[in-house]
A and B are shown apart, each in its own frame.
Chain A
Amino acid sequence: MTAAGESVTEKELFACGHRGCAGCGEGTAVRMILNTAGPNTIISICTGCLEVMTTAYPETAWEVPIVHAAFETSAAVASGIDSALKALGKREGINVLAFGGDGGTFDIGFQALSGMLERGQNVKYFCFDNEAYMNTGIQRCSSTPYGASTTTSPSGKFSIGESKDKKPIGAIVAAHDIPYTATATIAYPKDLKKKVKKALEIEGPTFMHIFTPCPTGWRYPSELTIQLSRWAVQTGVFLLWELEGPDFRNIVINKKLPNRKPVTDYLKLQGRFRHIMKDEETLQKIQKMVDEKCEMYGV
């Protein structure tokens, strides 16, 4: 058993003692995924916080085989692993996972991801979204939400911080006509693990967008990671859904929200939004963006 729920393995496959910050959402998400996937797993990871915090030579936090090549390549390298296992007659019973941060997925690795999905490779892709390039010190990404101040979307005399809303990665990925696309957060471990299990049982590419708060980058006390993961869902900032195939009419909303919390409850806990907390107009704009998204997804 793990704190987060049931484990299929006795042994933790993501070892303790890695160098993640206290309250790192990514670390928790990886542990939940590995507990579900078990030891017959090979992982391709991107450059980013996850790689730096887990592979500092001569140590490793991984009890399953992993390879880190470059920043933009986790889906591409995983494609090679998938094909090699096939070519060598060893494909049966092995999970091939690809991990990427939001930068490694939404931005620099997007081409490699799209190629892997379109080719129909048997790779389970997991994106850990902390809404910025954290490893290099909090630069904006196409996953950074509207209004967030980062070091390349600083709030200033001529800027309110990030000027674009998050790229709808799940919808874009699903449009590749892959068998399974889902979202999850670490505040709902049962939902997350159920989705991982489902992805692993499917033949072909799957994509999971996992929301993983970052105390260092979002500037909040580290004990709030789970609360923020939950409130992101309860405010409608991050929606929990799953979809088989490309047709959004078949979307399953895992968390309906008849009474959504106001978005400001979520924003005000985070230093990255501090500069807009007195800016009614921007707060209303953000609330409206969330309302519209919730309506579109029918939550």
Chain B
Amino acid sequence: MKMVIRGNMATAVGAKLCRPNVVPAYPITPSTLFPEKMSEFVADGELDAEFITVESEHTAMSACIGASVTGARTCTATASQGLALMHEMLFIAAGMRLPIVMAIGNRALSAPINIWADHQDTISERDTGWLQFYAENNQESLDLMIMAFRISEDKRVLLPSMVGLDAFVLTHTFEAVDVPDQGDVDKFLPPYKPNHGTLDPSNPITMGAFVTPEHYMEFRYAIELAMNESRDVIDEVFEEYKKTFGREYKKLVPYDLEDAEIILITMGSISGTARVALEEMRKRHGKKVGLIKLTVLRPFPEKELLELTKNAKLVAVIERDISLGFGGAVFGEIAAKYVNKPDRPLITNYIVGLGGRDVTLKDFNEIVEKAEAALAAGEVEKQTEWINIKEDAL
């Protein structure tokens, strides 16, 4: 069924189709529609679940952990400050290997407070042991929610997932979304049977134990192994989703790479703008510039990255976050993956669109011009550049 809905609604509808048993959620812009819709689904009897109106995001994630460890399928949504407040519990959810799913309306962090699109919130949680998916549009937001449950709950993975969609640009924008049938989703994602131990008096287990240096590293290593395993699981689930629902997903989505000397890398909603900009450049000026959209950031898709960029002369990482005192976080990760390759491309980095500043065709033109100049010079003068910054306001 086609519905014209906002991105938040897409995550809520996607989550509802997965029949969660428990939904603890707390309001925060731009994700508030998720708790609102979930409580409405429950109030109207459309969803048979317990909705918990928690008093903070710390409690939202803690309640997800409690529900999950009791054998319930559970999910929530948040953003920005709310995700930051959950930080402690994100490690614990992953450490206990609980397949919780969470939608994030990607938003900037305080101070100063700002509610608009920015990837800093999820980027800052890269090390917590959660799988990370980034949507480009509302359809992807819905599809990735459904797939996230399947991937997270797989016995080989058992790690939580977050699905990011850009604040307002997606969360509040209406788009046509193909909503799968409940019956098909039920087949794709059967009723929850936990693949992990649960709290059950007839079979007592201890979760969240006190672990000394003798064992701690193995717990962490096991998560890393599960992250590695999840690479294949993601491919399998993407493949099955395509067979069932007809929509194709890839960890890295290539665009016009065949002859590309310069390859841009983007995440989220700006990828569409980038494609339009590149199409123009190619048509008008014959520029051979391609694009890779990152859909999966955790586990980091390094094999695919190296394969897709093997003929590139320059890779330009364009991102909506900043690891202050370093440069773009995604740039740092991407650059690190080439470090032992003798014939690596030049790698440049552009910081764009923080706090919801529009990222326009003009910005992409400027970025490509800078990249071309670096390529012509054969060296990168300034590794990380901020695009469209008002120097005179400083």
A contact set with B: CB distance below 8 Å: 47, 51, 57, 68-72, 106-108, 110, 133, 135-137, 139-140, 142, 151-159
Residue of B29, B45, B51, B55 with most partner-chain A CB within 10 A: B55
Nearest-neighbor residue (CB-CB) of A47 within chain B: B113
Is B35 at the interface (CB under 8 A from chain A)?
yes
Closest 8 CB pairs of A and B: A156-B43, A107-B55, A159-B43, A136-B27, A108-B56, A139-B27, A151-B36, A152-B39
B residues near A137, Cβ cutoff 8 Å? 27, 32, 36
Chain A's nearest CB lies how many Å from the CB of B47?
11
Residue of A70, A133, A136, A152 with most partner-chain B CB within 10 A: A152
Known interface pairs A72-B56, A139-B27, A152-B35; A47-B43 also in contact (CB < 8 Å): no
- Distance in angstroms between the alpha carbons of A154 and B28 in the assembled complex: 18
Interface pair A158/B113, CB less than 8 Å apart: no
23 interchain pairs, CB-CB under 8 A: A68-B111, A69-B110, A70-B110, A107-B55, A107-B56, A110-B55, A136-B27, A136-B28, A136-B29, A137-B36, A139-B36, A139-B53, A151-B36, A152-B27, A152-B35, A152-B36, A152-B39, A153-B43, A154-B40, A154-B43, A156-B44, A157-B45, A158-B45
Interface residue SS majority, chain B: loop
Interface pair B39/A153, CB less than 8 Å apart: yes
A residues near B388, Cβ cutoff 8 Å? none
Chain B's nearest CB lies how many Å from the CB of A60?
12
- Distance in angstroms between the alpha carbons of A70 and B340 in the assembled complex: 43
Known interface pairs A69-B111, A108-B55, A140-B53; A154-B27 also in contact (CB < 8 Å): no
Point out the residue from A47, A133, A156 that lies within 8 Å of B40, measured CB to CB.
Answer: A156
Map CB proximity to A onto B42-64 as digits: 1 under 8 Å, 0 otherwise. 11110000010101100000000
- Distance in angstroms between the alpha carbons of A47 and B43 in the assembled complex: 29
Chain B's nearest CB lies how many Å from the CB of A66?
13
Point out the residue from A51, A151, A152 that lies within 8 Å of B113, measured CB to CB.
Answer: A51
A residues near B113, Cβ cutoff 8 Å? 47, 51, 68
Chain B's nearest CB lies how many Å from the CB of A1?
35
Chain A's nearest CB lies how many Å from the CB of B183?
23
Map CB proximity to A onto B163-205 as digits: 1 under 8 Å, 0 otherwise. 0000000000000000000000000000000000000000000
Excluding A139-B27, A153-B39, A155-B43, 5 further A-B contacts by CB distance (< 8 Å) are A51-B113, A107-B55, A156-B40, A156-B44, A158-B43
A residues near B110, Cβ cutoff 8 Å? 47, 69-70
* Count of chain B residues near A, Cβ 8 A: 23
B residues near A108, Cβ cutoff 8 Å? 26, 55-56
Known interface pairs A57-B112, A153-B53; A158-B81 also in contact (CB < 8 Å): no
- Distance in angstroms between the alpha carbons of A155 and B110 in the assembled complex: 34
Point out the residue from A135, A142, A154, A158 that lies within 8 Å of B55, measured CB to CB.
Answer: A142
A residues near B40, Cβ cutoff 8 Å? 151, 154, 156
Nearest-neighbor residue (CB-CB) of B37 within chain A: A151
B residues near A68, Cβ cutoff 8 Å? 111, 113
Is B277 at the interface (CB under 8 A from chain A)?
no
Point out the residue from B27, B36, B44, B111 that lies within 8 Å of A158, measured CB to CB.
Answer: B44
A residues near B39, Cβ cutoff 8 Å? 151-154
A residues near B81, Cβ cutoff 8 Å? 47, 70-71
- Distance in angstroms between the alpha carbons of A150 and B111 in the assembled complex: 29
B residues near A142, Cβ cutoff 8 Å? 55
A residues near B281, Cβ cutoff 8 Å? none
Chain A's nearest CB lies how many Å from the CB of B197?
31
- Distance in angstroms between the alpha carbons of A135 and B28 in the assembled complex: 9
Nearest-neighbor residue (CB-CB) of B115 within chain A: A52
Is B5 at the interface (CB under 8 A from chain A)?
no
Nearest-neighbor residue (CB-CB) of B84 within chain A: A70
Interface pair A157/B56, CB less than 8 Å apart: no
Nearest-neighbor residue (CB-CB) of B111 within chain A: A69
B residues near A153, Cβ cutoff 8 Å? 39, 43, 53
Is B85 at the interface (CB under 8 A from chain A)?
yes
- Distance in angstroms between the alpha carbons of A133 and B29 in the assembled complex: 11
Point out the residue from B28, B53, B55 that lies within 8 Å of A152, measured CB to CB.
Answer: B53
Chain A's nearest CB lies how many Å from the CB of B169?
19
- Distance in angstroms between the alpha carbons of A133 and B42 in the assembled complex: 20
- Distance in angstroms between the alpha carbons of A139 and B28 in the assembled complex: 10
Known interface pairs A139-B32, A156-B40; A72-B85 also in contact (CB < 8 Å): yes
- Distance in angstroms between the alpha carbons of A146 and B150 in the assembled complex: 39
Chain B's nearest CB lies how many Å from the CB of A19?
14
B residues near A133, Cβ cutoff 8 Å? 27
Nearest-neighbor residue (CB-CB) of A152 within chain B: B39
Chain A's nearest CB lies how many Å from the CB of B49?
12
Nearest-neighbor residue (CB-CB) of B29 within chain A: A136
A residues near B43, Cβ cutoff 8 Å? 153-159
Residue of A136, A140, A157 with most partner-chain B CB within 10 A: A136
A residues near B27, Cβ cutoff 8 Å? 133, 136-137, 139, 152
A residues near B28, Cβ cutoff 8 Å? 136
- Distance in angstroms between the alpha carbons of A142 and B112 in the assembled complex: 28
B residues near A136, Cβ cutoff 8 Å? 27-29, 32
- Distance in angstroms between the alpha carbons of A106 and B55 in the assembled complex: 8
B residues near A158, Cβ cutoff 8 Å? 42-45
B residues near A140, Cβ cutoff 8 Å? 53
- Distance in angstroms between the alpha carbons of A157 and B40 in the assembled complex: 10
Nearest-neighbor residue (CB-CB) of A68 within chain B: B113
Chain A's nearest CB lies how many Å from the CB of B116?
13
- Distance in angstroms between the alpha carbons of A140 and B27 in the assembled complex: 9
- Distance in angstroms between the alpha carbons of A71 and B78 in the assembled complex: 14
Task: State which residues 267-320 of B face A: CB under 8 Å.
Answer: none
- Distance in angstroms between the alpha carbons of A246 and B190 in the assembled complex: 55
Nearest-neighbor residue (CB-CB) of B112 within chain A: A57
- Distance in angstroms between the alpha carbons of A151 and B111 in the assembled complex: 28
Nearest-neighbor residue (CB-CB) of B31 within chain A: A136
- Distance in angstroms between the alpha carbons of A152 and B39 in the assembled complex: 5
B residues near A110, Cβ cutoff 8 Å? 55
- Distance in angstroms between the alpha carbons of A106 and B53 in the assembled complex: 13
Nearest-neighbor residue (CB-CB) of A57 within chain B: B112
- Distance in angstroms between the alpha carbons of A71 and B29 in the assembled complex: 12
- Distance in angstroms between the alpha carbons of A107 and B53 in the assembled complex: 11
Nearest-neighbor residue (CB-CB) of A137 within chain B: B32
Chain A's nearest CB lies how many Å from the CB of B11?
16
Known interface pairs A69-B111, A151-B36; A157-B55 also in contact (CB < 8 Å): no
